């Protein structure tokens, strides 16, 4: 036995399907609501009468919209009439019964605005009907931004300087929506390979600051009082730097090292590693990566090898797991997919660590042992 409330709930579940068909220009086919007619043995005469009256009371014949009831004569039922079919004749009947007509009207307006302004967005609208509703009040602003962007692509300004935006944080607040639309209306201005919004669409990024330690004091710039300093990446790119880079995932191991000839220590913690791996000035040098011996550490190491195949790992071998087995702990639950730039031995190590959920933290390896390994790799202490 179905009730008028259940019919409305069924209608609500069909709104998206019917709206997409409508936007595509498909003709609405009357929708028959699936329901099961109750048997005479399942309810009393009074219950049957109340059920039928409840359906009729909320039908299109009574309230002017919604479902229509077709009856079938049966002598054993109330007034010899039993609902045989419940039908919605129009899509608007479905929307109103579901209480969604106002939302649908917003989607219609958004679709007309977007598809007429940029026909290439038509298919996007079909795939994002919910977005047409939720962002309906924003599309005029979005299209103003798109128009300005096409007039001045890859503007090389900070997002907050973009004049067509209604306020300075607008592009940040609507980054995902703008990204999807830029991809379709301005593909010729998109920088492939970058997932960063600013880099991909040509906006200026806030300079990323990287912490470095001048392990060779002869390279410390004039006016800097010590060997440990944070500098923007673009500044580092213009400096006279040592030819050897030692990139460390953690800070303390880097700070505890002695001075090494012709070497710059770089702290690659947090998001620094991903950005460093893409820097030309990094890949033009002899790069050594030293991190935790776990799945994440090997993946970061692999990112550097993607850009500079000569990158060498420091203390990133399986033998360490045996040599310092008492220091090996439990890894994190997730195991990121390793880079194809890792060689067969390194991929096998990643698989082994992932299957056993292992982690040897960089900072747990004895300092004397670290110094011996670095010496074997050609790092020369400045006496």
Model pLDDT for residues 182-193, shown as the tens digit of each residue: 999 999 999 887
Considering the domain delimited by 209-376, tell me its CATH architecture.
Answer: 3-Layer(aba) Sandwich (3.40)
Q: pLDDT class for 308, splitting at 50, 70, 90?
A: confident
Candidate from 79-83, 260-264, 341-345 with smallest mean pLDDT: 79-83
> What DSSP assignment string belongs to 120-160?
GGHHHHHHTHHHHHHTTTTHHHHHHHHHHHHHS-S--S-GG
Task: Answer with the residue of higher pLDDT: 151 or 307.
Answer: 151
Confidence check: pLDDT of 175 > 90: yes
Model pLDDT for residues 96-126, shown as the tens digit of each residue: 999 999 999 999 999 999 999 999 999 999 9
What residue spans define the domains of the chain? Answer: 4-97, 101-201, 209-376
Average pLDDT over residues 299-315: 88
Q: Pairing between strand 244-248 and 263-267?
A: parallel
| pLDDT score recorded for residue 347 | 92
Confidence check: pLDDT of 259 > 80: yes
Report the SS3 class of residue 343.
coil
Candidates 250, 236, 170; CA nearest to 207 is 236
Model pLDDT for residues 12-66, shown as the tens digit of each residue: 999 999 999 999 999 999 999 999 888 777 778 888 889 999 999 999 999 999 9
Task: Answer with the residue of higher pLDDT: 191 or 91.
Answer: 91
User: In the chain, at which residue ranges do the beta strands (DSSP E only) sit?
Assistant: 31-32, 68-73, 81-88, 209-214, 228-232, 244-248, 263-267, 286-290, 312-313, 329-330, 358-359
| pLDDT score recorded for residue 4 | 95
CA distances from 170 to 107, 189, 330 (A): 22, 21, 43
Give ∠ CA 225-231-237 in degrees, rounded to 5: 115
Confidence check: pLDDT of 271 > 70: no
Angle between helices 101-117 and 4-23 (to 10 degrees): 10
Contact status, residue 191 vs residue 153, Cβ threshold 8 Å: no
Question: Whole-structure pTM over 0.85, yes or no?
Answer: no
Average pLDDT over residues 209-220: 94
| pLDDT score recorded for residue 169 | 96
Average pLDDT over residues 323-352: 87
| pLDDT score recorded for residue 48 | 86
Distance of CA 272 to the CA centre of its chain: 19
Task: Give the list of residues 6+ apart from residue 135 with CB closer than 8 angstroms, or none.
Answer: 110, 142, 174, 177
| pLDDT score recorded for residue 78 | 52
| pLDDT score recorded for residue 333 | 67
Contact status, residue 82 vs residue 74, Cβ threshold 8 Å: yes
Task: Answer with the residue of higher pLDDT: 74 or 164.
Answer: 164
Confidence check: pLDDT of 277 > 90: no
| pLDDT score recorded for residue 81 | 80
Candidates 309, 308, 327, 311; CA nearest to 370 is 327
Contact status, residue 339 vs residue 280, Cβ threshold 8 Å: no
Task: Answer with the residue of higher pLDDT: 365 or 273.
Answer: 365
Contact status, residue 104 vs residue 117, Cβ threshold 8 Å: no
Task: Give the list of residues 6+ apart from residue 126 with CB closer than 8 angstroms, or none.
Answer: 20, 23, 24
SS3 content of the chain, % helix, strand, coil (to 5): 50, 15, 35
| pLDDT score recorded for residue 181 | 97
The DSSP symbol for 293 reads B
CA distance 17 to 169: 35
CA distance 256 to 260: 12
CA distance 379 to 375: 5
CA distance 117 to 229: 51
Confidence check: pLDDT of 217 > 70: yes
Task: Answer with the residue of higher pLDDT: 41 or 262.
Answer: 262
CA distance 177 to 165: 14
The DSSP symbol for 241 reads -
Task: Answer with the residue of higher pLDDT: 331 or 113.
Answer: 113
| pLDDT score recorded for residue 270 | 64
């Amino acid at each position: 036995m179905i009730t008028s409330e259940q019919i409305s709930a069924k209608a609500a579940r069909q709104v998206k399907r019917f709206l997409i068909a409508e936007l595509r220009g498909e003709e609405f086919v009357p929708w028959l609501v699936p329901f099961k007619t109750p048997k005479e043995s399942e309810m009393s005469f009074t219950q049957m009468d109340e059920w039928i009256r409840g359906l009729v009371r909320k039908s299109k014949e009574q309230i002017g919209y919604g479902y229509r009831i077709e009856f079938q004569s049966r002598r054993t039922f109330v007034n010899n009439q039993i609902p045989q079919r419940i039908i919605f004749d129009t899509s608007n009947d479905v929307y109103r019964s579901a209480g969604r007509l106002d939302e649908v009207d917003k989607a219609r307006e958004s679709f007309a605005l977007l598809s007429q302004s940029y026909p290439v967005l038509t298919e996007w609208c079909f795939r994002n009907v919910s977005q047409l509703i939720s962002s309906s009040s924003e599309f005029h602003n979005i299209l103003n931004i798109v128009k300005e962007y096409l007039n001045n692509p890859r503007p090389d300004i900070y997002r907050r300087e973009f004049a067509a935006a209604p306020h300075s944080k607008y592009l940040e607040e609507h980054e995902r929506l703008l990204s999807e639309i830029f991809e379709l209306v301005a593909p010729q201005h998109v920088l492939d390979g970058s997932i960063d919004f600013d880099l991909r669409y040509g906006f200026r990024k806030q300079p990323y600051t990287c912490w470095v330690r001048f392990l060779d004091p002869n390279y410390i710039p004039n006016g800097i009082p010590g060997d440990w300093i944070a500098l923007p990446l673009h500044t580092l790119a213009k400096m006279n730097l040592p030819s050897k880079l030692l990139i460390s995932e953690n800070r303390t191991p880097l700070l505890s090292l002695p001075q090494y000839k012709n070497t710059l220590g770089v702290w690659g913690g947090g998001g620094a590693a991903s950005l460093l791996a893409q820097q030309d000035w990094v890949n033009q040098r002899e790069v050594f990566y030293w991190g935790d011996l776990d799945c994440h550490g090997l993946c970061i190491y692999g990112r550097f090898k993607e850009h500079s195949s000569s990158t060498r790992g420091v203390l990133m071998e399986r033998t360490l797991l045996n040599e310092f087995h008492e220091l090996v702990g439990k890894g994190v639950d997730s195991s990121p997919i390793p880079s194809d730039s890792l060689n067969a031995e390194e991929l096998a190590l990643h698989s082994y660590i992932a299957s056993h959920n292992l982690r040897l933290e960089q900072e747990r390896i004895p300092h004397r042992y670290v110094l011996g390994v670095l010496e074997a790799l050609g790092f020369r202490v400045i006496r």
